[in-house]
Structures are given as structure tokens and as C-alpha cells.
């Protein structure tokens, strides 16, 4: 079956077509995401309270449910020009391999040194910290993509950057650590002896290899305890989805150029930032009743927050120092099985996506990791790009949907987010190649135990 190739393999926008405003999907949501709550009083966090932890302008963006478009400051637009617009690629080679009538597109965000979409928000957050006259920022990183992106952004604006890196990644991914140090960041394995909460976690769980939740608690403690510092987070928050809307706006502009309307939009979901960004403008049309799209979030079967979690207020971190967020969650002390190598291991999900999912505006599926790596390998072989394990969750479901089209003969148009490259994930690929990867899926009993420890909020 020969495919007619009227659309170029890569659709690039011109530099002057990079969006100059972010799109705030909350403005079009009838049911707004639930507010963050003070963990002590269970009252909505005020701007003043949030300002002790986060930068002022980012607090304003976090709380803004009204303004549909938010201008992107010129300095951020200029930085975006170094690596954006990112290509929207027509996956002709994958289509040919699958012999599917489906038309598959992917938006590739791995074309920068951090290797993922995270730089889109990192540069914005560093910019607002600089504008506020801060000395530096603190953060956590798991696999290291967020820490890398933030290190790059901080060095660009001359800010100090303190990264708490989940200990197991710190040890297993020394090269990520060195990239961060190349950009001038200090990197501390978490849990560490340098914070109160780190010492407490170490006392309770000696020998622990850490988790994102622990690292967040440590980073927040350091930000709050040091004048001139604030904490920044690379996913989950409303502000991060806002910055990531640049992905969806570019995708839509590129498709519009060729008069292409997607039927299905697919993205992997860890904390929800790339998916939220990719779908934002499409979801806006759906919310306003202008268009209809199928939107699918893909998560690992070993960390299934949307598909098997509950929609409830929960802590964002293990140390329970952060505000409470209403989200689909597995419980803040949930840690995926040690054999889980495929990323996307956060226990909760963006409050925006959680609300949209609860309202039936999008679907979610979970996939076991060996099927994810099968898809990753097939994709690498035909499309050339070595995908990040996280991104490969979306590839898996795009292939599955394309195969359904093959059965039915439907010529659906699929778009998925290819969030990054997998060069630092070769230990996971190695496990897969050697048959040492298994598909542990938590039992209902296990999940119920974590759920029973959710905070009681009424």
C-alpha cells in the first residue's frame, strides 16, 4: 500500500509563528479545577500564603481561572526561538510499517539539551524568579529531565539552582547529574541529611532510595528557609500546564496550515503537563462546543492515577509540607514497584486534567511497560528517533489506535506528543532487551492501603 505524500514529513512553522501568548484552558472550563488548600486549616491557599513558596507572578498565573490568553514576555519568546518551533512530524514510515490507513502525526519536543518539553516551563519559571529579584530557586528531579531543563534556564538568567535528585536516579544516572552541574546547578541526592524532613525520612526508612515526594519536601524546606529563594515545580501545577500550552498552540497552527483536523489526540501523563499543554487549544474548542475530539491520557499500569486512583484532596509530597491538591491520586506515599523503569511515577495528576477527566472530557488508559518498550523499539527503528520511555506510552496507544483503524478501514487522523528522547534511559532499554523487565501491576488491596491514608478533607 503506497501512501500519498501531500503533507511534508516535517511541518515547521516560521519563527514569527511561535505563539506570543499562552492559552489558559481554565478560562473555558465550566467546572474550574478545585483550589489548593492549606494543609493545616484546609482553607483555600491565599496568594500571600502561596507567595512564601512560589514566585509572585507564578502565583498569579496559578490562581488565574479567568484570562484566556496570557502574553509570553519577550525574553521568554526570545529563548523559545533557540529551540522552537518544534516540528510536527507526519509518521509516514510508521504508517507504512503498520500498513494502516490511519494518518499519524507527532509533535517532537526532544530537540533541546534537556531532551524534553520541560524547558518550555523551566524558562518561564526562571524568568519570573529573576524578574522578582530572587537569588535562586530549588526543585526536585526524578529521572533528571526537569532538573536539567531548570539548570539550563537558571544559567541563562544567572540564577542559583539547587536540585534535589531522587537518590536512585542520582546513582543510576550520573551523566544527567553532570549535565546539571555543567549548567551550574548544585545537585543533592534525596533524601539527604541537609534538611529536617530528609533526616526524618532517613530515620524512618534507613536505606531508602528516595521518591519524588521526598525530594519535593526537601526542596520546599530549603526554599522557605533561605531568603531570596523560591520553590519551582516542573509538572502538575496549573501554571506549568499554561506554559506548556505552547506545544498545543504550535501543533494546532501547523495542522491548520494544511487543513488537517485530528480525530484523536494522545499523550503520556505523569503529572499531566505535556498532555495538558498539547490538548489545551483542542480542549478549548471542545469545551466551547465548537469541535469534538477524542483525547486519551496514557499512564503506566504500575502507577495508574487516573485509571485506578480516586478523585480527592491529597498531599503533593511525602513530607506533607505542600498544599493539598484535589486530583486523581494513588496516595502521597505510593511508590511504584522497584522494577518499574518507564518513568511517569508521580502519585497524583494535574488538577486541571483531573477535573476534565472527571467531567468526561477525556479518556485514560494504562499500559504495561514491556508493551511500552516494544512500541519504543518499533518507533526507533522506523522513525529514527530514540524515544524516552515516558513518551513511548503515547506511541504505544497511537500504534494500538492505528491498528484498530486497520481492522475497520477507517482513515482517522491521530496526533500524539513525543515528549523527549531516551539517551539517558539505556538501563531501562537494557532491562527490556535482556528480558529482565516485568509488568508488575499493583493489586486492589495494595492500592486500598494507600487510599486509606488519604487526608480527610470535607
The residue ranges that bind ligand PLP (CB under 6 A) are 116, 118, 145, 235, 268-274, 344, 388, 390-391, 419-420
Compute the least distance from the CB of residue 24 to ligand PLP, in Å. Answer: 17
Nearest distance, CB of residue 180 and ligand PLP, angstroms: 14
Of 270 and 319, the one with the shorter C-beta distance to ligand PLP is 270
Q: Could you tell me the smallest distance in angstroms from the CB atom of residue 73 to ligand PLP?
A: 22
Choice between 34 and 349, CB closer to ligand PLP: 349
* CB nearer ligand PLP, residue 198 or residue 422: 422
> Which C-beta is closer to ligand PLP: that of 195 or that of 421?
421
Smaller CB separation from ligand PLP, 153 or 405? 153
Least distance in angstroms from the C-beta of 424 to ligand PLP: 10
- The distance of closest approach from Cβ of residue 238 to ligand PLP in the complex, given in angstroms and rounded to an integer, is 12
**Of 352, 350, 371, nearest to 361 (Cα)?**
352
Q: Where are the alpha helices (DSSP H) in 258-385?
A: 273-287, 305-308, 351-358, 369-383
**Min. distance of Cβ 257 from ligand PLP in angstroms?**
25
Q: The C-alpha cell of 355 is what? A: 477535573
Selection from 218, 163, 213, 229 nearest residue 195 by Cα: 218
Cell, residue 383: 522513525
Q: Which is nearer to ligand PLP, 125 or 195 (CB)?
A: 125
Shortest Å distance, C-beta 149 to ligand PLP:
8
Residue nearest to ligand PLP (CB): 420
Of the pair 24, 419, the CB lying nearest ligand PLP is at 419
SS (HEC) of 161-224: EEEEEEHHHHHHCHHHHHHHHHCCCEEEEECCCCCHHHHHHHHHCCCCCCCHHHHHHHHHHHHH
Beta bridge partners of 105: 90, 415
Compare residues 262 and 420 and give the one whose CB is closer to ligand PLP: 420
Do 270 and 344 meet the contact criterion of CB atoms below 8 Å apart?
A: yes
CB of 406 to ligand PLP, least distance (A): 27
Rounded to whole angstroms, how far apart are CA atoms 62 and 76? Answer: 18
Backbone φ and ψ for 86, nearest 5 degrees, come out as: -90, 150
Cα distances (angstroms) measured from residue 93 to each of 10, 83, 156, 389, 416:
12, 25, 37, 20, 15
Name the residue among 168, 135, 139, 169 with its Cα closest to residue 151.
139
C-alpha span between 128 and 153 (Å, rounded): 11
The closest of 59, 26, 54, 24 to 352, measured between CA atoms, is 26
Amino acid at each position: 500500500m503506497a501512501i500519498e505524500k501531500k503533507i511534508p514529513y516535517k511541518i515547521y512553522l516560521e519563527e514569527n509563528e511561535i505563539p506570543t501568548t499562552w492559552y489558559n484552558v481554565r478560562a473555558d472550563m465550566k467546572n474550574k479545577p478545585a483550589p489548593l488548600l492549606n494543609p493545616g486549616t484546609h482553607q483555600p491557599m491565599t496568594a500571600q500564603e502561596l507567595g512564601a513558596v512560589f514566585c509572585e507572578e507564578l502565583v498569579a498565573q496559578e490562581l488565574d481561572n479567568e484570562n484566556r490568553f496570557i502574553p509570553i514576555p519577550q525574553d521568554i519568546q526570545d529563548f523559545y526561538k533557540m529551540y522552537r518551533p518544534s516540528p510536527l512530524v507526519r509518521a509516514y514510515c510508521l504508517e507504512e510499517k503498520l500498513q494502516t490507513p490511519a494518518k499519524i502525526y507527532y509533535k517532537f519536543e526532544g530537540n533541546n539539551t534537556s531532551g524534553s518539553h520541560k524547558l518550555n516551563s523551566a524558562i518561564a519559571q526562571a524568568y519570573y524568579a529573576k524578574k522578582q529579584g530572587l537569588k535562586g530557586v530549588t526543585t526536585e528531579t526524578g529521572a533528571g529531565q526537569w532538573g536539567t531543563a531548570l539548570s539550563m534556564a537558571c544559567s541563562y538568567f544567572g540564577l542559583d539552582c539547587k536540585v534535589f535528585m531522587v537518590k536512585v536516579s542520582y546513582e543510576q544516572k550520573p551523566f544527567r547529574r553532570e549535565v546539571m552541574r555543567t549548567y551550574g546547578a548544585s545537585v543533592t541526592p534525596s533524601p539527604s541529611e541537609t534538611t529536617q524532613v530528609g533526616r526524618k525520612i532517613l530515620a524512618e526508612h534507613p536505606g531508602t532510595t528516595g521518591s519524588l515526594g521526598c525530594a519535593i519536601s526537601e526542596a520546599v524546606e530549603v526554599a522557605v528557609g533561605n531568603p531570596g529563594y523560591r520553590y519551582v515545580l516542573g509538572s502538575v501545577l496549573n501554571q506549568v500546564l499554561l506554559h506548556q500550552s505552547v506545544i498545543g498552540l504550535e501543533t494546532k497552527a501547523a495542522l491548520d496550515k494544511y487543513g488537517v483536523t485530528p480525530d484523536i489526540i494522545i499523550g503520556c501523563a505523569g503529572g499531566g503537563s505535556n498532555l495538558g499543554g498539547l490538548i489545551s487549544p483542542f480542549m478549548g474548542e471542545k469545551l466551547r462546543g465548537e469541535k469534538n475530539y477524542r483525547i486519551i491520557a496514557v499512564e503506566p499500569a504500575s502507577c495508574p492515577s487516573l485509571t485506578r486512583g480516586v478523585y480527592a484532596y491529597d498531599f503533593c509530597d511525602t513530607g506533607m509540607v505542600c498544599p493539598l491538591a484535589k486530583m486523581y491520586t494513588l496516595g502521597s506515599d505510593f511508590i511504584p514497584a522497584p522494577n518499574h523503569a518507564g518513568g511517569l511515577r508521580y502519585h497524583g495528576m494535574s488538577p486541571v486534567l483531573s477535573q476534565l477527566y472527571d467531567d468526561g472530557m477525556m479518556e485514560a488508559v494504562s499500559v504495561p511497560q514491556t508493551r511500552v518498550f516494544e512500541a519504543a523499539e518499533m518507533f526507533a527503528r522506523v522513525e529514527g528517533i530514540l524515544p524516552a520511555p515516558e513518551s513511548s506510552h503515547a506511541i504505544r496507544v497511537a500504534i494500538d489506535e492505528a491498528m484498530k483503524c486497520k481492522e475497520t478501514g477507517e482513515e482517522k487522523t491521530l496526533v500524539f506528543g513525543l515528549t523527549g528522547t531516551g539517551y539517558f534511559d539505556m538501563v531501562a532499554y537494557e532491562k527490556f532487551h535482556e528480558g529482565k523487565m516485568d509488568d508488575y501491576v499493583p493489586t486492589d488491596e495494595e492500592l486500598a492501603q494507600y487510599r486509606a491514608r488519604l487526608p480527610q478533607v470535607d
